[in-house]
Amino acid sequence: MKKNIALMRGDYSSPEIVAQAVRVLDKIAEKYGHEFVYTDIAMGGNAIDKYGDPFPDHELEKCLASDSVLLGAVGGPKWDHLPGDQRPEKGLLKMRGGMKLFANTRPAKIWPQLASASPLKEEIVAKGIDFVVLRELTGGIYFGEHRTEETECEGKTEKRSVDIMTYTEHEIERIGRVAFETAMKRGKKLCSVDKANVLDSSRLWRSVMHRVKEDYPEVEYSDMLVDNCAMQICRDPSQFDVIVTENMFGDILTDEASEITGSIGMVPSSSLGATTCGVYEPIHGSAPDLAGKDIINPIACILSAAMMLRYSFDMPAEADDIESAVSRVLDAGKRTADIMSEGMECLSCSGMGNAILAEL
Ligand code: IPM
Ligand code: MG
């Protein structure tokens, strides 16, 4: 099969991990007789440097014309002084909105080889951690109106800022359906997370989820308040199979969910909309302090490439092949610095790429 892949190499240490993922994809293409054609896309800090814009329309057009996008990570101190609407993160949000990627999937799964790296107690980890969070990605407070204005208070002028959180029924319903479908393919358990005791948008969220649930009688459904969920994720993560939640709650909970697996450098993600053209990226950042040293962990990016093969290109055998190669490399005691422990062999970023290639 021939596939056109848009590559966003990203900022700081990101190009180093994307390079390793491309080596893995090329090996897969050779082994299974596919052809992957790459187009470089500027987004984030690199796009600001090149075009003075974190994600120009012409770059978005190239993404929409591709079969899928593989992304490193964007942002870093070089662009921190810029105003909100010109920052690298704005490029990311424009990409999500422009490509209509409303469903973000972030797995939280413990690799048995790395279980000791989890900050949770051994007896909690022993019960198992294997769930996915579906984060709504194109609505809510991230995409509502943002403004800062002057206001009068007790004779003094001060600033007042507003960020608006909005959800419509169809936005909730479409992520709800993806979540129920995901649960059907996994353990048939879905927990919808909201703040329905305070927010109107959450009460609407909950009522729509209850409507959708009627179509999935096999799924064991529950509602949970977001503060309780944050607590339950570290108290007993084994209770979760699929979590679905709105954009900002999902942002916060997925950082927590990745941390309990002990290795943020291992977590891939997918963002999809109504088509199979999606964005695949590690959930970690651009690690400015590691840039140029060839020490960043490329595994999350390599696993993101595997997710792309599985979910966008319908190549499950090829995806399995990459995931089991990663597992065998870990079995052999090979690590990068971020997941290093006593008695293991510490590899560079490209060294980890070599080790995974050798297993394919
Ligand atoms: C994420 C990140 C982004 C978000 C930032 C960089 C805008 O934290 O993908 O989780 O908040 O969505
Ligand atoms: Mg985040």
Indicate the domain borders of the chain: 1-106+267-360, 119-260
The pLDDT value recorded for residue 263 is 83
Q: Is the CB of 63 under 6 A from ligand 1?
A: no
Q: Give the number of the atom of ligand 1 that is nearest the alpha carbon of residue 254.
A: 10
- Give the closest residue (by CA) to ligand 1 atom 12: 251
Indicate the pTM of the whole model: 0.95
The pLDDT value recorded for residue 84 is 82
255 classed as catalytic:
yes
Q: Which CATH superfamily is domain 1-106+267-360 in?
A: Isopropylmalate Dehydrogenase (3.40.718.10)
142 classed as catalytic:
yes
Q: Give the number of the atom of ligand 1 that is nearest the alpha carbon of residue 74.
A: 6
Query: Into which CATH architecture does domain 119-260 fall?
Result: 3-Layer(aba) Sandwich (3.40)
3-state secondary structure of 109: strand
Encode pLDDT of 271-296 as tens digits. Answer: 999 999 999 999 999 999 999 999 99
Measure 201 CA to ligand 1 centroid, in angstroms. Answer: 21
- Please check the confidence at residue 224 and state whether its pLDDT lies above 90: yes
d(CA 349, CA 295): 5
d(CA 52, CA 186): 44
Q: Give the number of the atom of ligand 1 that is nearest the alpha carbon of residue 93.
A: 7
Mean predicted confidence (pLDDT) in 327-347: 96
251 classed as catalytic:
yes
Q: How many CB atoms lie within 10 A of CB 298?
A: 30
Concatenating the DSSP letter of every residue in 224-261 gives EEHHHHHHHHHH-GGG-SEEEE-HHHHHHHHHHHHHHT
- Give the closest residue (by CA) to ligand 1 atom 4: 251
User: Matching CATH topology for 1-106+267-360 and 119-260?
Assistant: yes
Mean predicted confidence (pLDDT) in 93-112: 96
Strand partners, 189: 220
